[in-house]
């Protein structure tokens, strides 16, 4: 994808589709943006905000995929995986990455939506 996310993420993308988060203030001012994914098909399907204003994004990723938005999809941990699967990636209100999880079983797994539970957990 050749869309450019101006601000925190200025790359022109990895390849195929990528997921992204773009955050604006209540007045419409751009706050920060992150691009997530790798060279395969990566799609963001759902987003939620918790009580601390952390931003949680879910979707599907393929192979090695940037999940912390630093522009590198080979950082290790949840980023390094040959399969396709659902993911959750969490950023604080300033756009600092907190953590990511990849959930894979067999076939193509999708994270369609994410909900913050009353205790702060993710469903």
Query: Measured in whole angstroms, how far is the alpha carbon of residue 39 from the centre of its chain?
Result: 15
Q: Can residue 44 be called a binding residue for Ca ion (CB under 5 A)?
A: no
Least distance CB 16 / Ca ion (angstroms): 4
Contacts with Ca ion in 49-78 (CB under 5 A)?
A: 66, 68, 70, 72, 75
Site pattern 9..28 for Ca ion (x: CB under 5 A): -----x-x-x----------
Q: Residue 72 or residue 92: which is nearer to Ca ion going by CB?
A: 72
The partner residues of 37 in beta bridges, in order of sequence, read: 66
Between CA 58 and CA 110 the distance in angstroms is: 8
Distances (CA, A) of 74 to 23, 29, 103, 120: 25, 32, 18, 29
- Interface positions with Ca ion (CB under 5 A): 14, 16, 18, 37, 42, 66, 68, 70, 72, 75
């Amino acid at each position: 994808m050749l869309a450019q996310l101006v601000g925190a993420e200025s790359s022109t993308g990895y390849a195929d589709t990528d997921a992204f988060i773009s955050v604006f203030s209540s007045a419409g001012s751009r706050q920060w943006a992150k691009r997530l994914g790798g060279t395969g098909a990566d799609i963001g399907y759902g987003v939620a905000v918790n009580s601390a204003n952390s931003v949680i994004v879910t979707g599907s990723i393929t192979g090695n995929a940037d999940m912390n938005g630093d522009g590198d999809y080979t950082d290790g941990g949840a980023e390094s995986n040959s399969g396709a699967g659902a993911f959750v990636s969490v950023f604080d209100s300033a756009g600092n990455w907190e953590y990511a999880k990849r959930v894979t079983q067999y076939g193509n797994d999708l994270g369609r939506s994410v909900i913050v539970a009353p205790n702060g957990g993710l469903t």
